[in-house]
Chain A
Amino acid sequence: MRLAAPMRIAAVRLTLPLLILASIGLMLLSKADLAGLDRARVVVDDAMAPLLSTLVQPVDTVAGGVRSVEAMATIYSENNRLREENARLLQWQEVAHRLMNENAELRSLAKLAPEKPLFQVSGQVIADAGGAFARTVLINVGRGEGVARGQAAMTGEGLIGRVVEVGERAARVLLLTDLNSRIPVAIEESGEHAVLAGDNSEQPKLLYVSSKSALKVGARIVTQGSGGVFPPGLPVGVIASTPAPSGEEVARVEPYTALSRLDYVRIVDYGLAGVLPQSMVPAPKAPRPSRGNDAKH
């Protein structure tokens, strides 16, 4: 074994500098946003998607088992909580019905054009970032299902991010918490505009708020239409902390959805081209009917 060592080291010395140079070169090229690298990302994501989709299923089954055992332990208190929530929601249902009727009446009075139908497709998260830096997820729907860059990614609870990269059968979603995520939002109550900026922590920052008095813990944050990125009013989260003289100088938002435990996400298109350059926003194709979870309304 010792005899082989010098030869091994010689071989190491030959390949190592080249590989190190290649890594550094790739870093600099990705820093320069080379279009070819983006295509390479799409190709790799597309190629790995079937494998990842297959591997996710057993993991999901095991995790589901763990979750149901956990749920058994809290079944009694959970049931009580749901009863209370149900009572509260029934009241809201009443309110919603009334508002829906009123809205329909007012619309017909004002002769408003009916809202454009939106495109919607669900996908499963097949890879999340895992690392300390990027906050993106890979989902198993792509161009074939009608997904396009710039579309909003949501769960039942609220917005989670937007599509930044689309392959034939996989797409990557940039989460609200990613360092590169900037979303125009509004504080629902006051209508105050702000920008929700990710910084890799669980709670993104709320920037450029002109009046500090609008910042109240628990205030709802929704999307805002300017820039045409998202339609106004999609739920995002609630203010979790406000600037304190002793602590942080920015407010932070707790997203409605736990972004570290995403399972299924919904990709929604409101027909807004958004701030992305036109050439990068391919028109969504008619979705394939193959997947059972497609939905259009």
Chain B
Amino acid sequence: MPGAPRSEIGLPASLVPVLTAVLAAILTVIPLHLPSFAAITPAFVLMTVYYWALYRPELLPNLVVFLVGLLLDFLSGMPYLGISALILLLVRVAVMLEQRVLVNRAFPVLWLGFLLASLGAGALEWMLVCGLRGAFLTPRSFIFQAVLTVACFPPVGLALARLDRAFLVRD
């Protein structure tokens, strides 16, 4: 991107956001077999898209977000392809519009922003699925996933921040 480089980041390091997003998609579908883990796993991809859209949007561009969303739809056996792709794209745009409000703030602010993002994503997914199916579905599992995702955000968010600092040093 012209004029974009602010610090020298090597190519392998600049792939860190993409790799974390792909890894998150795989982690979502891999059976973890943990005794207390239910059928629903937290939306790890949403966390990565949220974080990188806030701190390194140029390293996780729309096209990559679209492709990762599509991969997630394929792997999770989603009957309607493109749903995750659309939701993740919209979350990325929303986060970038609110970047000024959210970036470089204390963690609770970041978390609150994520809460809004995942509630929005959950509500949108539920509405899209209901619309495409042409039937009312109970929103229970969508709410459950959103709550689980918000609850799991702190460790993942901190891990992403670590990676960010380790590989993509800011000036």
Name A's B-contacting residues (CB within 8 A): 1, 3-4, 7-8, 11-12, 15-16, 19-20, 22-27, 29-31, 37, 40-41, 44-45, 48, 51-52, 55-56, 59-60, 63, 66-67, 70, 125-138, 172, 177, 179-180, 199-202, 259-263
Contact = CB atoms under 8 A, between A and B. Distances in A.
A59 B33 contact: yes
Contacts of A133: 78-79, 125, 129, 141-142
A16 B62 contact: yes
Contacts of A20: 86, 89-90
A167 B82 CA distance: 21
Contacts of A41: 74, 81
Contacts of A16: 62, 89, 93
A128 B39 contact: yes
24 contacts: A7-B3, A7-B4, A8-B58, A15-B62, A16-B89, A20-B86, A23-B86, A25-B82, A45-B75, A56-B31, A59-B30, A125-B31, A126-B30, A128-B29, A130-B41, A133-B78, A133-B125, A134-B77, A137-B77, A201-B140, A202-B39, A261-B37, A262-B31, A263-B33
Q: Which of A4, A19, A41, A177 is the most central at the interface, judged by chain B CB atoms within 10 Å of its CB?
A: A19
A134 B76 contact: yes
Nearest to B99: A5
A66 B125 CA distance: 34
B77 A22 contact: no
Nearest to B4: A4
A201 B57 CA distance: 37
Contacts of B33: 59-60, 63, 67, 261, 263
B34 interface: yes
B145 interface: yes
Nearest to B122: A132
Contacts, number: 175
Nearest to A261: B33
B85 A26 contact: yes
B82 A31 contact: no
A61 B122 CA distance: 32
Interface of B: 1-4, 6, 26, 28-35, 37-41, 43, 57-58, 61-63, 66, 69-71, 74-83, 85-86, 89-90, 93, 96, 122, 125-126, 128-129, 132-133, 137-138, 140-142, 144-145
Q: Which of A1, A12, A133 is the most central at the interface, judged by chain B CB atoms within 10 Å of its CB?
A: A133
B3 A132 contact: no
A163 B45 CA distance: 28
Contacts of A180: 79
A7 B29 contact: no
A48 B73 CA distance: 13
A123 to B, nearest CB: 12
Contacts of B58: 4, 8
Given A4-B3, A200-B137, A260-B39, A63 B32 contact: yes
Contacts of A125: 31
A118 B76 CA distance: 30
Contact of B81 (A26, A51, A56, A179): A26
A52 B30 contact: yes
Given A56-B31, A132-B126, A132-B142, 12 more contacts: A11-B61, A12-B96, A15-B63, A23-B85, A27-B83, A44-B71, A55-B30, A59-B33, A66-B34, A131-B40, A134-B78, A200-B137
A55 B26 contact: yes
B4 A8 contact: yes
B89 A19 contact: yes
Nearest to B144: A132
A16 B86 CA distance: 10
